[in-house]
């Protein structure tokens, strides 16, 4: 299974533009890691293809997204709003990615984490595609991971 990073960037660009009114810019490589607070969401895909999509955004981007989605002043956005906004974004990305996958696949509910010092992993998976982009100068990452099939013993 292959997913073109350009396709993933394009669908992210469409979602950002249509939902948040923000134009994103492609970034060629992963920015240096920092201890910034971030909100990450993971949605699982099962069925004809098994894997997950992880969306990692700085809290500033999540705050801007929540403000746009819920029509709220950014200064009044709560952590739960950040989580809901990023959950909705990963759900939209998941829905679009699902359309690129073989039929029939199912999306799980998103799992969302917010904090300043954590890492996430989907056990038993490997990265298939990773896309970096800039949203109003802040770096956002979309990772698509594929479940690794268990090795079968040779006869």
Partner 1 sequence: MSQTIAPAPSISRTLIQPFIVAVRDVFHKMAKVEITCEKPHLKEGNHTSYEVCGIIGFSGHVSGSVVVSFSDQAALKLVEAFVGEKIDRNTPDFADAIGELANMIAGGAKQHLGGSASISVPNVVIGKGYQIANMSQVPCLVIPCKSPHGDFAIEVCIKQR
For partner 1, the binding residue among 84, 135, 142, 143 (CB under 8 A) is 84
- Residue listed under structure tokens 């479940």: 147
CA 117 to the chain's CA centroid: 18
Rg (alpha carbons) of the chain, rounded to whole number: 16
For partner 1, the binding residue among 19, 72, 111, 130 (CB under 8 A) is 111
For partner 1, the binding residue among 33, 75, 119, 152 (CB under 8 A) is 119
Q: d(Cα 68, Cα 154) in Å, to the nearest integer? A: 55
**Cβ neighbours of 122 (radius 10 Å):** 18
For partner 1, the binding residue among 90, 112, 131, 140 (CB under 8 A) is 112
For partner 1, the binding residue among 25, 74, 99, 115 (CB under 8 A) is 115
Q: Is 131 in the site for partner 1 (CB under 8 A)?
A: no
Strand, helix or coil at 153?
Answer: coil
Q: Are 17 and 23 in contact (CB under 8 A)?
A: yes
Positive or negative, the CA dihedral 49, 96, 131, 118 is: negative
Q: How many residues bind partner 1 (CB under 8 A)?
A: 27
Q: CB of 26: closest distance to partner 1 in angstroms?
A: 27
For partner 1, the closer of residues 4 and 34 by Cβ is 34
Residues 24 to 83 in contact with partner 1, rule: CB under 8 A: 42, 44, 46, 50, 52, 79-80, 83
Q: Is 149 in the site for partner 1 (CB under 8 A)?
A: no
Q: d(Cα 88, Cα 41) in Å, to the nearest integer? A: 9
For partner 1, the binding residue among 32, 123, 137, 150 (CB under 8 A) is 123
* Distances from the Cα of 146 to the Cα of 36, 90, 93, 122, angstroms: 27, 16, 16, 9
Catalog residues that contact partner 1 under the rule CB under 8 A. Answer: 42, 44, 46, 50, 52, 79-80, 83-84, 87, 108-109, 111-124, 147
């Amino acid at each position: 299974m292959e997913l073109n990073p350009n396709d993933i960037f394009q669908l992210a660009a469409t979602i950002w533009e249509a939902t948040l009114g923000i134009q994103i810019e492609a970034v060629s490589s992963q920015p240096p890691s920092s201890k910034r607070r971030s909100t990450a969401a993971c949605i699982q895909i099962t069925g004809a293809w098994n894997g997950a999509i992880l969306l990692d955004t700085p809290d500033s981007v999540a705050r801007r997204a929540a403000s746009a989605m819920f029509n709220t002043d950014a200064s009044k956005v709560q952590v739960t709003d950040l989580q809901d906004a990023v959950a909705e974004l990963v759900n939209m990305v998941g829905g679009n990615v699902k359309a690129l996958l073989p039929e029939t696949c199912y999306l799980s509910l998103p799992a969302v984490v917010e904090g300043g010092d954590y890492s996430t992993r989907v056990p038993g998976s490997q990265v298939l595609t990773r896309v970096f982009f800039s949203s109003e100068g802040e770096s956002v990452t979309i990772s698509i991971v594929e479940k690794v099939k268990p090795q079968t013993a040779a006869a």
